Amino acid sequence: MSDTTVPLKQRVGRYGAWSIELRSQDPARRGELDEAAAELEELGYGAIWLGGNSTADHAAPLIGATRRILVGTSVLNIWQQEAATTAAGFAEVASAHPGRYLVGLGVSHGPLVKNYSRPYAAMTGYLDELDEAGVGADSRVLAALGPKMLKLSGERAAGAIPYLVTPEHTAQAREILGEGPLLAPELKVVLETDPTRARALARDALAMYLTLPNYTNNFLRLGFTEADLAEGGSDRLIDALFAWGDEDRIRDRIETFHQAGADHVALQVVTGTHRDKLPREEWRRLASLLG
């Protein structure tokens, strides 16, 4: 059980594992998923971040299979689950495992949501409903990219979990948030030393995101150009968004996020394999190089 008297930043630690694979609800895979979560805890990761539109239903089994690691959604899509359902799921998990579940919320993207409009207003309304239902600010974080949503993350949540960002974005986010709130950016890691192979794996992983304006607009705000976004992304863009290379290079790249103001970095391993395959060996390698 997590000690809820310990500050969130301390409980979440410096590193977490971001995984879409662990959100599977296939009963035949339950043992495999629970075992992997327990190993992540033993390897020293402070949190598991469940990719995709994840909910308490995805988090609860992993929390039950572990002793102290935090599990967060990255993210729960506010357009696809009503706040009352989110609150009920949170209450059930929090009752059994206090302090172990973080509700990561996001507004998704216009091309993926029917009748998408006024995302900031939608988020503030959702947070109002969570307040009324007893899901406090200290139990939720926001997938924030732009300045307004980052500011909201500090005012109405425990902090921000920006996805697909650079150390420069992290520095800007820290300035907006101030020192108190949690800042936990996601970073993709390619455990490959060959530049051609590493960048090819990275471009495959990036392709979908280059179709989503929330991300591309954020890249442009960070000083990238339309040319950087073309043809799968320039080397400059790839190298800014992914950590790849030998152990020293990857370790140094991760450390730049901490130096820029991150409290915690959610590490997503990119392997190019089927998304159902758990990258357990890669998680072990990452844990070893991080010490």
Domains of the chain by residue range = 8-189+247-290
- Write the CB contacts of 266 (distance below 8 Å, at least 6 apart in sequence): 15, 16, 17, 18, 47, 49, 74, 161, 184, 185, 186, 187
Per-residue pLDDT, 112? 67
| pTM of the complete model beyond 0.75 | yes
- Over the chain (291 residues), the average pLDDT of each successive run of 10 is 81 97 95 98 98 96 98 95 97 97 89 79 97 97 97 98 98 98 98 98 96 95 97 97 98 98 98 85 97 85
Per-residue pLDDT, 5? 81
- Write the CB contacts of 206 (distance below 8 Å, at least 6 apart in sequence): 232, 233, 237, 238, 241
Per-residue pLDDT, 291? 85
Q: Where are the beta strands (DSSP E) in the chain?
A: 15-19, 47-51, 70-74, 76-77, 101-106, 140-142, 159-160, 182-183, 186-190, 242-244, 265-269
Per-residue pLDDT, 142? 98
Per-residue pLDDT, 159? 98
The domain covering 8-189+247-290 belongs, at the CATH homologous superfamily level, to: Luciferase-like domain (3.20.20.30)
Report residue 234 as tokens.
Answer: 């320039």
* CA gap 253, 259 in Å, rounded: 10
Per-residue pLDDT, 272? 87
Per-residue pLDDT, 253? 98
